[in-house]
Amino acid sequence: MIRRRPVLRPLLTALLVGVVPLLAALTLAAPAARAAALTEVTGFGANPSDLRMYVYRPDSAPAHPAVVVAVHYCTGSGPAFYSGTEFAALADRYGFLVVYPSATREGGCFDVSSPQALRRGGGSDPVGILSMVTSAEQHYGADPDRVYVTGASSGAMMTNVLLGDYPDVFKAGAAFMGVPFGCFATTDGSSWNSACANGALTKAPRQWGDLVRAAYPGYSGPRPRMQLWHGTEDTTLRYPNLGEEIKQWTDVLGVSGTPAATDHPQSTWTRTRYGGTGDRAPVEAVSVQGAGHTLPATGMAARAVAFFGLDSATTPPTDPPTTPAAACRVTYAASTWNTGLTASVTLTNTGAAPVDGWALTFTLPAGQTLTSGWNAVFASSGGTVTARDAAYNATLAPGASTTLGYQAAHTGNAGAPASFSLNGALCQVG
C-alpha cells in the first residue's frame, strides 16, 4: 500500500491518543504466567505486505483445536496483543489456538483502506492473514471448521474486512472499536478516512451490505456471525460507527435491524441481539457507556470467546445457522421447450420477522444460461444467479410472498435449480 507521510502523521496522532489508555487497560488485564510460549512462525505462505505471524498453542490444546485470530491496534504488535489481552489465558482454559498477526509497516496499522484489501484475494494484509490460518491448519492441526477472528481498533477494522473477504473461512468475528467494512476505503494511497473515523459516514443497510457482498461476488454460502463493541465516548473512531456496523451486518446476514433482545450484562453495558436471542445470535452489539478508545477491558475477551462458542474445554460446538432454520420457502414452476424455458419462482418469508431487502441465490443446472428476468434485479456469474429485490418488493412481512421470473436457454437439461438461498440461508423448496 502506498502511504503519504503528511497523511500518516495525523493517523498516528489520533490513534495514539486512544491507544495510551487502551494500553493501560490491557496491562491491568494481563494474564498470569503460563507454561506454553508464544512462537513466531516464518515462511507461512503468501504475504504481500510482510506481516509477521505469532502463534500461541496452549498445553491444553487438543489434536485439532479451534483457531482465534487476534489482531492488534495501531502502534501495537502481535506479541503486545498476546501479553496485554486475555485471549491467551482463555486459550489455556479452553484449548483453542491463537494466531497473532503483526503489522510491520510504519505506525503498525493494518491495511483496511486500499482496494486490494477490500476484495477477496486482492492482496495486502488480508491475504497474509489468510496464509496464517492455512499454516495453522497445516502445521498445528487446526480445525478449518472453527476459525474465528477478533481485534481492537485497527484490528477491529480488519475483523470486519476479513469477514467480508473470506466468509467461507471465518465462522464469526468480534470487533472492539471498529468501523464497517469499506468505511475506511480510500483510493489516493492514504490510509486514513476522516469522515469514517468521525462517524460522519452513514449509509442505508443495503448500501453497507452491498460493500461486503462485492468483496466476494457470487458467494451464496453461509455468512459469519458478528459481535460488535464500542464505547460511547470514543473520540478516535467515534461511537456512531457502531450503529453503521449494525446496519451492515444485519443486512448481510438477512436479519431484522430491530433488536430481538436487549439486556445489560454489566451496569454500563447495553447489549442488543439481532436475528436471535441466545448467546450466539447472528449479530450482537454491546454499547459501553462512558468508555473511550480503551476496549477490550477486563472480561470482554471472555464474552467474545463465548460468542464464538469456544467457552468449553470438552465439547467442540457446532456453529448454528446464521438465520433461523426454514425462514423462507420457494416454489418453482417452469414452461420449457427444446432450447429454452421460462421459470416462475415464488419466495415466501416463513420467519417471524420481516425481511427488509432480499437476495435470492441459486445455481442453474449444467447447460442453462440466464437470458432475462423480471420482478427482480438479476445478475449471473458462472451459472450462479443472484436475484435482488426491486424497489417495490424489497420488504417481505412474515408470511408474505413475492413472485419473480426468468428466462433461460438450455442445451438439453431443462431441470430446476437444486436449491435456493435467501440472504445466504437455505430455503425450503416446494
| Residues paired with 55 in a beta bridge | 39, 99
The active-site residue out of 102, 135, 153, 421 is: 153
C-alpha cell, 338? 427444446
Residue 335 bears catalytic tag: no
Name residue, grid cell 490491557: 26
Across the beta sheet with 261-263, what order do the strands follow? Answer: 38-41, 52-56, 97-102, 67-71, 147-152, 172-176, 225-231, 283-288, 269-274, 261-263
3-state DSSP assignment of residue 128: helix
C-alpha cell, 279? 448467546
For residue 5, with 0-12 CB atoms within 10 Å meaning exposed, 13-18 middle and 19 or more buried, which class applies? exposed
For residue 379, with 0-12 CB atoms within 10 Å meaning exposed, 13-18 middle and 19 or more buried, which class applies? middle
What's the CA gap between 133 and 153, in Å, rounded? Answer: 21
Handedness of CA 323, 122, 70, 133 (dihedral sign): positive
- Is 406 within 8 Å of 378 (Cβ atoms)? yes
Name residue, grid cell 482454559: 93
Would you list the DSSP string of 263-331? E-SSTTEEEEEES-SSTT-SEEEEEETT--S--S-TTHHHHHHHHHT---SSSPPPPPPSS-TT-EEEE
Which positions are catalytic? 153
